[in-house]
Amino acid sequence: MSGDPYSGAASRWASGASLVYGPAAEALVRRCPHPLEGRLVLDAGAGTGAATAPLVAAGARVVAVDRSAGMLGWRAADRPPSVVADVRALPLGDDAVAAAVAAFVLNHLPDPVRGLAELGRVTRRGGAVLASVFATDFRSALRDRVDAAAADAGWQVPDWYLAMKADTVPLVGDAPAMARAAREAGLDDVAAEQCTVDVGIERAEQLVDYRFGQAPFAAWLDALGVRRAGDVRSAAVAALPARVAYRPRVVVLVARAR
């Protein structure tokens, strides 16, 4: 992927996409097999800090890394230290952190084994390496209706998003593939499973704000302007039943560095 598809996405991500990514990150961090209190933990592909928040709540000291300066810059003064870097070439020494969390970033990598190996390198022996991605077999007719409402208003699926779905998402998009990648990366005690996460999305407005908060919509919504973007949001909400129950399926990896 060239360029930064997240460069203008931070504000909508933090207020919209995080409705799902926040609870999903919380569920991931809860799986950590050892205490986090007082320990230095890496949030890799941190974005606007969905996983940083539960890590801090668990008492961890966090260092965040992301390829997107725009995402890391979101409310940076209120967040732990961060550095713009690729998760496959982390600017950290061996055994630098007690644990590493990679929430919904491995799906961006053409070489997720390299990313996982790098997480293992910087995590001290026995420390947790936690990762999550959306399962490739997860479908939502309701989310598709939101996309259709956007398409009716002129949204076109960005090429980078199509390429990601076709090329990199499947590499770790089911539990066996994730487990294979983690073992190949040299991680220990590898456990990968697919689970449904109750992210608490119950209303049409929440589902639309989540979906429109994602990066593929950011540039398009910005170009529409506030009033027109509001009209599109209303049309998408009207395309849904008032009550929705959006429960994504997620592949979760819990492993240890060796």
Ligand X SMILES: C[S@@+](CC[C@H](N)C(=O)[O-])C[C@H]1O[C@@H](n2cnc3c(N)ncnc32)[C@H](O)[C@@H]1O
Given 27, 51, 171, 237, the residue binding ligand X (CB under 6 A): 51
Q: Which is nearer to ligand X, 103 or 237 (CB)?
A: 103
Residue showing the smallest CB distance to ligand X in the complex: 47
Cα angle 163, 246, 217; round to 5 = 40
> Which of 19, 32, 36, 46: binder of ligand X (CB under 6 A)?
46
Binding piece for ligand X, criterion CB under 6 A, among 46-54, 146-154, 185-193, 227-235:
46-54
**Quick one: 26 or 174, whose CB is closer to ligand X?**
26
Coil vs helix vs strand at 20: helix
CA 43 to chain centre: 11
Beta bridge partners of 61: 40
User: CB 28 → ligand X: shortest distance, Å?
Assistant: 9
Among 16, 23, 25, 207, binds ligand X (CB under 6 A): 25
How far is residue 209's CA from residue 207's CA, in Å, rounded to a whole number? 6
Of 255, 118, 106, nearest to 170 by C-alpha is 106
As measured in angstroms, the least distance from the Cβ of 49 to ligand X is 7
H or E segment at 190? strand 188-196
In this structure, are residues 253 and 131 in contact, taking their beta carbons and an 8 Å threshold? yes
Stretch that binds ligand X, among 47-55, 74-82, 166-174, 227-235 (CB under 6 A): 47-55
CA atoms within 13 A on the CB side of 224: 18
* Residue 97 beta carbon to ligand X: minimum distance, rounded to whole angstroms: 15
The one among 33, 40, 58, 67 contacting ligand X by CB under 6 A? 67
Interaction of residue 54 with ligand X, rule CB under 6 A:
no
Q: Say how far apart CA 230 and CA 61 lie, in whole Å.
A: 39
Minimal distance in Å, beta carbon 202 to ligand X? 20
Contact positions with ligand X (CB under 6 A) in 129-188 = none
CB closer to ligand X out of 126 and 220: 220
- Taking the complex as a whole, the smallest distance from the CB of residue 216 to ligand X amounts, in Å, to 11
Instruction: Give the 3-state DSSP-derived string for 99-116, with helices as H, strands as E and coil as C.
Output: EEEEECCHHHCCCHHHHH
Give the dihedral of Cα atoms 19, 22, 26, 28; nearest 10 deg.
100
β-strand pairing of 82-84 with 188-196? unpaired
Provide, rounded to whole angstroms, the least separation between the CB of residue 20 and ligand X: 9
Among 12, 39, 79, 108, binds ligand X (CB under 6 A): 108
Written as one letter, the residue type at 202 is E
Our CB check for ligand X shows the closer of 119 and 187 to be 119
Q: What is the torsional sign of CA 108, 111, 113, 116?
A: negative
Q: Which residues bind ligand X (CB under 6 A)?
A: 6, 21, 25, 45-47, 50-51, 66-68, 71, 86-88, 103-105, 108-109
